Amino acid sequence: MARMPAVRTVHVCQQCGAESPRWSGQCPSCQAWNTLVETVVARPTTVAARGRQRGALTALPVGTISPITDVSSAEAQRLVSGIGEVDRVLGGGFVPGSIVLFGGDPGIGKSTLLLQLAARLANARGSVLYVTGEESAAQVRGRAERIGAVTGGLGLVATTELSTALGAIESEAPILAVVDSVQTLASDALSGPAGSVGQVREVAARLAEAAKTGRTCVALVGHVTKEGTVAGPRTLEHLVDAVIYLEGERLGSTRLIRAAKNRFGSTDEVGVLEMRSDGLMEVSDASRFFLESEQPPVAGSAITIALEGTRPLAVEIQALVAPSGGGSPRRATTGIDVNRVLMLIAVLARHAGLNLTGHDVYVNVAGGLRIEEPAADLAVAMALASSLRERPVRAGTVLAGELSLAGRIRQATRADRRLAEARRLGFETLITGTAHGGGADRDVHLVTATDVREAVRLALEVA
Ligand code: TYD
Ligand code: MG
């Protein structure tokens, strides 16, 4: 390693910022435990930086300052992969010179997705590099054969050395470099093992630098730990331009992608993919995808039109209410906050006369989706009421509205978009709350209820 730069490292406390030359379990300054992380000391390399060190002022090169009136806002042309769900979540494709972190549980499909993206872009746009530290080149080739990703213009580099990866990116200058994964590469400037906090951060920082200087887009793969953070520390997130999570239940085939951070787009969009034997495929009608049950409707099921980013999705909420065998009743949920469900149970008891005190309650969002928005309240409450009463929600009905503690229903935001989606899918009725400022909509398909008792009547009882 003749080119290896003489770098110095220190151990920086992540809590108080104190530096120590050696690692120790406890910070000598603030006494916190396990907070020291080995970090490369940045060497001043520019003329200006060296000048600053000497305490001298340096004359700025001509052109350093641009009048804002002369700066163009047009961004570089994005790399559009053609996998629409991914492009949309990215904000319209990859931005050249940016670094994007793809996080997710082991086995969820990160390598598969990135190999697909790599092959698509190699085919359509130019040379792409796939750096694999986790698997051998032969293993990657094997996967590529299964998913149809063997294509000219896609180069493989099997290495666990950061310097090799950086060298390949510099000499090849690809439009996209996939690095799989951040936990398997290591810089020889640091003594810590690959995957340690200091290494992970150094790898990401150096790759971000390489992306910017070479106008290459770097797609960095990172495993999520059980605590839900990428590579242990959340601190990795500020080093990259976007963080995209791939999620889903491992045994199910649905995969959702969403941005936790995106400098070049919204973080509200969600992409829906399906894991097949030949890779991750786009779902042709994502909205229908989250509807599990067949008509006629069964007791304990209610459908809401959720808004995920700009996209409306019809989602089925399933509830099971059963008498508990003594002791404290169970309340378990998948895909929805259990505290929200506890609140809805209380609202149903107080304002609709539906008492679930002696019942176990299970609520599930179909298709592995996770719902955060309060507009799903009404559908959850009606699924619970439906299961308790053993009576299905009326056929052709969807629900969207937020419930207040007083049992009032507030109309869901952007009710018009939800209504349009309900129509497109062939539903006849959307039950929601009255819009802010009253004034019920007279649309025949839009039925408004003011409170939860009225909603139960409208949703469950025959007219
Ligand atoms: P992988 O992309 O290796 O996951 P990650 O990189 O996130 O750890 O995918 C792992 C799983 O996906 C593996 O259990 C097999 C399955 N799979 C498919 O179902 N279809 C496919 O076409 C491929 C390549 C993998
Ligand atoms: Mg992998």
Q: Which pLDDT score is estimated for 138?
A: 97
Give the rounded percent of residues in the chain with a pLDDT score beyond 70.
Answer: 89
Q: Which pLDDT score is estimated for 439?
A: 44
Ligand 1 lined by 232 (C-beta under 6 Å) = no
pTM over 0.85: no
Please give the distance, rounded to the nearest whole angstrom, from the Cα atom of residue 359 to the centre of ligand 2: 43
314, amino acid identity: A
279-283 average pLDDT score: 90
Q: Tokens 């605590």 sit at which residue?
A: 227
User: Which tens digit of pLDDT belongs to each residue from 81-132?
Assistant: 999 999 999 999 999 999 999 998 889 999 999 999 999 999 998 999 999 9
234 vs 449, more confident: 449
Ligand 1 lined by 107 (C-beta under 6 Å) = yes
pLDDT tier at 166, thresholds 50, 70, 90: very high
User: What is the best residue among 275, 276, 277, 280 to mutate for testing ligand 1's pocket, by most ligand atoms within 8 Å of CB?
Assistant: 275
Ligand 1 lined by 350 (C-beta under 6 Å) = no
Query: Residue 442 pLDDT > 50, yes or no?
Result: no
Tokens of 435: 């819009």
User: Which tens digit of pLDDT belongs to each residue from 5-24?
Assistant: 567 888 888 777 788 888 88
Q: Which pLDDT score is estimated for 20?
A: 87
Q: Compute the distance between CA of residue 122 and CA of residue 267 in angstroms, rounded to an integer.
A: 27
Q: Compute the distance between CA of residue 56 and CA of residue 72 in angstroms, rounded to an integer.
A: 33
Helices (H) and strands (E) in the chain, counts: 11, 21
Q: Compute the distance between CA of residue 251 and CA of residue 393 in angstroms, rounded to an integer.
A: 30
Tokens of 259: 């941005």
Please give the number of the atom of ligand 1 that sits closest to the Cα of 221: 6
Tokens of 99: 């670094």
User: Which tens digit of pLDDT belongs to each residue from 40-85?
Assistant: 876 555 555 555 555 567 777 777 888 888 887 777 789 999 999 9
DSSP string, 78-126: PB--S-HHHHHHHTSSBPTT-EEEEEE-TTSSHHHHHHHHHHHHHHHTS
**φ, ψ at 124 (rounded to 5°):** -95, -30
Pairing verdict, β 446-448 and 429-432:
parallel
User: What is the best residue among 112, 139, 224, 274 to mutate for testing ligand 1's pocket, by most ligand atoms within 8 Å of CB?
Assistant: 112
Give the rounded percent of residues in the chain with a pLDDT score beyond 90.
Answer: 53
Is 218:100 a contact under the CB 8 Å cutoff? yes
Report the candidate in 104, 96, 94, 167 with the shortest Cα–Cα distance to residue 131.
Answer: 167
369 vs 365, more confident: 365
Q: Which pLDDT score is estimated for 42?
A: 66
For residue 170, count other CB atoms closer than 10 A to its CB.
Answer: 12
Which of 68-72, 200-204, 366-370: highest mean pLDDT? 200-204
> Mean pLDDT in the chain?
86
